[in-house]
Structures are given as structure tokens and as C-alpha cells.
Amino acid sequence: MPEDHEPEYGFPARLWRALARHRPGGPFSARAWRSPLRGPWLTSVFGSVLLVGLPVVIITGLLSYAAYSPQFGQAFPADVGWLRLPLFSWPAGPSWLYRLTQGLHVGLGLVLIPVVLAKLWSVVPKLFTWPPARSAAQALERLSLLLLVGGILFEIATGVLNIQYDYLFGFSFYTAHYYGAWVFTGAFAVHVALKLPRMVHALRSRSLRAELRTRRADTTPEPSEPDGLAPSAPTAPTVSRRGALALVGGGSALVFVLTAGQTIGGVARETALLVPRGREPGEGPNGFQINRTARAAAITPTATGSGWALRLTGGDRPRSFDRPALAALPQHTAELPIACVEGWSTTQTWTGVRLLDLARLAGVPEPGSAHVTSLERAGAFAQAFLQDNQIRHPDALLALRVNGADLSLDHGYPARVIVPALPGVHNTKWVAAIDFRAAR
Ligand SMILES: Nc1nc2c(c(=O)[nH]1)N[C@H]1C(S)=C(S)[C@@H](COP(=O)(O)O)O[C@H]1N2
Ligand SMILES: [Mo]
């Protein structure tokens, strides 16, 4: 065991020996962890799944930040200082882009939770290494593990709370989730750099195919090694390695089935038991999930009735269009998804006036940005900013109708924004006014 080696450099040898003599019992005892399944090979199998999966979750997460158009201060957190990435403008196409990146971020993030837990289980004896560190370098490495483990658990907790309770707690989770992600990503990069050679070596030590054919009775422990993952005194196996892998894989498959329906839609929606929104969106053309109802947003029938008119500003003088006037303008139809940051999405057929046509009517033929305000007065949904490419795209609409019918009040009647590849939240419902700014 490594604990019994003399310290190399750094820590005073006397302190180390004193600590080594006073090894606490319980989980710190070398005999406390005895599962015959633990060992570098099993840890590396889980590790290699995470090595492939987690970078996808990290990158799609950062893309989501970029998709929120941070240049308008509408991403969370608004100001990230030097963590601000080289900015690029989020594209307005293909229309399914955010649906894909955010579906992957949330979906894969959830599916990997059982693998993360299994990986942590497989290395838990390392938490109780004694003495805690043999050298300054090892102390640093263990500190990075604290950030790694703490970081991933923090990201899982804030991520899950965010998709389940977003609209109960507001947006504070985003800020925590964003900074937590950088802490985790840094620790993850260090961990991969330190462990990759050992992982490759361990994966070669056993054959996956052979393990998948091995029954419980024939399951042999991995040889005890200096890393201390494999137990020095293993018990008899209560489950085979393939059984353990099947358990973890089954857990991930279950999470997939219980959540993926929210994006796949149709019958699959019925199985999406783990998602908070939209299992019973009703029938008809407006029968798809509602993020927040008109009632919850305090939108009254009076405000959206015949007195409603869209106010367009930005040109020489403001203009107003009531709903019949908007309906008399050239109409365009496009099949576009609403893709929520929570991971769910739904594609519908929208009809309305092109945003670019509205910009021209406002007297801003070359729009550089648009500030959309909702009848909803307060909160994160009261307004949104659109980039030039999001206004100019031929499918970027102020929708009046969906699937051939007028928008329902819950889906944003009298008019709502719908733009290809735009994060759901910026597709403002119950639009009151649009202020166009000319491109510079
Ligand atoms: N005014 C207003 N617009 C809004 C919202 C809202 O609550 N209020 N929710 C946003 C979010 S987060 C999403 S995902 C979409 C959902 O649209 P839907 O409820 O029609 O499905 O609308 C967006 N537009
Ligand atoms: Mo959303």
C-alpha cells in the first residue's frame, strides 16, 4: 500500500511518520473497503465514458451561454469578466441548432449521472487515504480532486434544480452553474492530464468482452495495486462486473427514457415523467407544452383584447398596428422549434409577419438589433434583445397563428416572437412593442 512507503520529498518525514502511526479506524482502515469489483479497470471503464461524454456537456453548456447573446447583457451571469470567451454571434440557423445543443447538454448531463455516481463509488476508498498526503504535490493533487468531485456534484445539483424549479427560484442557478462549470472544467482538465496514461494502462489490463461473459461465480478481484483502488482483502463477489455495468447502464437508460420524451415528442412525451412541464398541453393546434401560462404571467384578456396594438419604434416616428392590421400584412409560414434551456423542445408551424418587414415598417430597413418588450411587465421574460441575423432571417417571425389557428392566450396571443435557433426564452410571448436599432 502506498501509505506505508517513506515520504519522498516535501513533507517533513517526522510528521508523516506520526500521522502514519495514528491511522484512524473505520473508513480509514485498509480493510474497510472490500468489494472485489473495485479496481483500476472498473474505474477506468466509467472514466472513459465520462471522458467522452463530459466534454460534450461542457461545450454545449458554453454554447448555451453564447446563444443567450451575452453582448446584450441577457446571459446569466451578465458579466463574467475575463471568463468571457472570444465572442461569436450565435447563428440563426439551422433552426434546430439550439434544440440539438441544449437537448444534448441537458439530456446527456442527466444520462451521465448514474455513471458519475458509479465512478465516485469506485474510488471512494481514496477519500480515506491515510496520511492525507505524502508530499506537497500529492496534497495539490488531492485538492484538485476536491474541486473535481465537489464541482461535478454541484453542477448536477444546480442543473437538476434548474430544470425542475427554474421558474420557482428565478435565474440564480444559472450564475452558480456557470461559475461552478469553470471550477469543474479546470479540475477535470488537470485530472485527465494526470490520469490518462493510467486509465489507458488499466483498460488494457482486462478485456471488456471477456468481462461481459463472466458470471458472478467466476468474478475475480482485480489485483491489489499501489493506487489503492482494488481492495487488499476482497470479499466474495455479490454481483458480477457485468452485473454492475448493467446496473449503471440500466440506470442511464431509465433516465433517458424518463426524460428524452420531452424532446422527441409524440407518444414519447407520455414517458417523460421526470420533466416538470407540458405532459398535458391539451388538444388542437395549440396543444403543445406551455412554459408559463397567461394566468401565471398575469396577462389579462383586457390587455390582449381589441385595444391591443403593436408599437414599433426606432425610425423617425413610432407606428402602431392592431391585430387586423398585422394580419393584413404579408404573412409567412415556417416550421420552427421552441427549444427551452431546460432541455425540452417542440416543433410547430408558425405563421406571421417577418421581423424584417416590421423593421422596414418601423423605418429601420437595415436593423442591427431589436428590443422586444412584452405585456408582461416584470421579470426575466418582460423583454429580450435580438441580433441582426435573428431579425433578418427569412423565417424570423412575429407569429400571429400556429398550426393554422390563432395563437392561444397561453402561447402568446395576440402576437409572439419565433426565430430559428433562438433559445426558447427569447421567443417573447404577448409582445407589446419592438424597438429596432439600425446597424452601424
Ligand atoms: N412573455 C413571456 N414570454 C415567454 C415566456 C414567458 O414566461 N413570458 N417564456 C419563455 C420561455 S422560457 C420559453 S421556453 C417559451 C415557451 O413558449 P410556449 O409557452 O409557447 O411553449 O416562451 C418564452 N417566452
Ligand atoms: Mo424556456
Number of Cβ within a 10 Å radius of residue 186 = 14
DSSP 397-417: EEEEEETTEEPPGGGTTT-EE
- All cell numbers assigned to 399: 407569429
Q: What confidence tens digit (pLDDT) does each residue in 110-166 have?
A: 999 999 999 999 999 988 888 888 888 888 888 899 999 999 999 999 998 888 765
Please tell me the distance from the alpha carbon of residue 414 to that of residue 62, in angstroms, as a whole number.
34
Please tell me the distance from the alpha carbon of residue 19 to that of residue 131, in angstroms, as a whole number.
6
pLDDT at 271: 61
86 — pLDDT class (breaks 50, 70, 90): low
168 — pLDDT class (breaks 50, 70, 90): low
pLDDT at 275: 57
Give the SS3 label for residue 349.
strand
Q: Which residues line ligand 1 (CB under 6 A)?
A: 289-292, 297, 338, 340, 374, 376, 381, 411-412, 424-425, 427-430
pLDDT at 77: 87
pLDDT at 11: 58
pLDDT at 1: 41
31 — pLDDT class (breaks 50, 70, 90): confident
Under 8 Å between Cβ of 336 and 96: no
Please tell me the distance from the alpha carbon of residue 77 to that of residue 170, in angstroms, as a whole number.
13
Give the SS3 label for residue 322.
strand
Nearest-ligand number for the alpha carbon of 290: 1
Please tell me the distance from the alpha carbon of residue 287 to that of residue 226, in angstroms, as a whole number.
60
379 — pLDDT class (breaks 50, 70, 90): confident
Give the sign of the dihedral formed by CA 141, CA 143, CA 144, CA 149: positive
53 — pLDDT class (breaks 50, 70, 90): very high
pLDDT at 80: 84
- All cell numbers assigned to 301: 384578456
Q: Where are the alpha helices (DSSP H) in 300-431?
A: 301-304, 323-327, 355-362, 388-392
pLDDT at 166: 57
Q: What percent of the chain has pLDDT over 90?
A: 70
Nearest-ligand number for the alpha carbon of 291: 1
Q: Which residue(s) pair with 423 in the sheet?
A: 339
For residue 337, which phi and psi values (nearest 5 degrees)?
Answer: -90, 150
Mutate to test the pocket of ligand 1, among 377, 381, 403 (most ligand atoms within 8 A of CB): 381
Tell me how far the alpha carbon of residue 290 lies from the centroid of ligand 1, in angstroms.
7
- All cell numbers assigned to 376: 408582461
Nearest to 140 by CA among 199, 187, 198, 184: 187
Mutate to test the pocket of ligand 1, among 74, 106, 279, 292 (most ligand atoms within 8 A of CB): 292
Residue 181 has pLDDT above 90, yes or no: yes
Q: What is the mean pLDDT of residues 69-84?
A: 86
Nearest-ligand number for the alpha carbon of 379: 1
Q: What confidence tens digit (pLDDT) does each residue in 382-415 have?
A: 999 999 999 999 999 999 999 999 999 999 999 9
pLDDT at 199: 97
Tell me how far the alpha carbon of residue 341 lies from the centroid of ligand 2, in angstroms.
5
Number of Cβ within a 10 Å radius of residue 124 = 15
191 — pLDDT class (breaks 50, 70, 90): very high
Which ligand 1 atom sits closest to the C-alpha of 293?
A: 19
What's the chain's average pLDDT? 90
Q: How many residues does the chain have?
A: 440
Mutual angle of helices 241-264 and 40-67, in 10-degree steps:
10
Residue 85 has pLDDT above 50, yes or no: yes
Please tell me the distance from the alpha carbon of residue 435 to that of residue 323, in angstroms, as a whole number.
18
Mutate to test the pocket of ligand 1, among 348, 422, 425, 426 (most ligand atoms within 8 A of CB): 425
Tell me how far the alpha carbon of residue 261 lies from the centroid of ligand 1, in angstroms.
20
Strand pairing category for 431-438 and 309-313: parallel
Under 8 Å between Cβ of 30 and 3: yes
Q: What is the mean pLDDT of residues 281-294?
A: 89
Under 8 Å between Cβ of 99 and 429: no
pLDDT at 51: 98
Half-sphere exposure of 409 (CA within 13 A, CB side): 14
Tell me how far CA of residue 366 lies from CA of 85, 305, 317, 376, in angstroms: 28, 32, 16, 28
Query: Closest residue (by CA) to atom 17 of ligand 1?
Result: 291
pLDDT at 61: 96
pLDDT at 283: 84
Every domain range in the chain assigned CATH 3.90.420.10: 310-438
Under 8 Å between Cβ of 341 and 291: no
Q: Which residues are CB-contacts of 250 (< 8 A; sequence separation ≥ 6)?
A: none
Strand pairing category for 397-402 and 405-406: antiparallel
Under 8 Å between Cβ of 304 and 192: no
Please tell me the distance from the alpha carbon of residue 144 to that of residue 189, in angstroms, as a whole number.
10
Tell me how far the alpha carbon of residue 350 lies from the centroid of ligand 2, in angstroms.
18
Which ligand 1 atom sits closest to the C-alpha of 291?
A: 19
430 — pLDDT class (breaks 50, 70, 90): very high
Q: What is the mean pLDDT of residues 270-288?
A: 70
Query: Closest residue (by CA) to atom 11 of ligand 1?
Result: 425
pLDDT at 2: 46
Residue 274 has pLDDT above 90, yes or no: no
Please tell me the distance from the alpha carbon of residue 335 to that of residue 339, in angstroms, as a whole number.
13
Which ligand 1 atom sits closest to the C-alpha of 346?
A: 21
**Could you tell me which CATH number the domain at 310-438 has?**
3.90.420.10
174 — pLDDT class (breaks 50, 70, 90): confident
Please tell me the distance from the alpha carbon of residue 377 to that of residue 437, in angstroms, as a whole number.
22
Residue 309 has pLDDT above 90, yes or no: yes
Give 381 or 48, the one with higher predicted confidence: 48
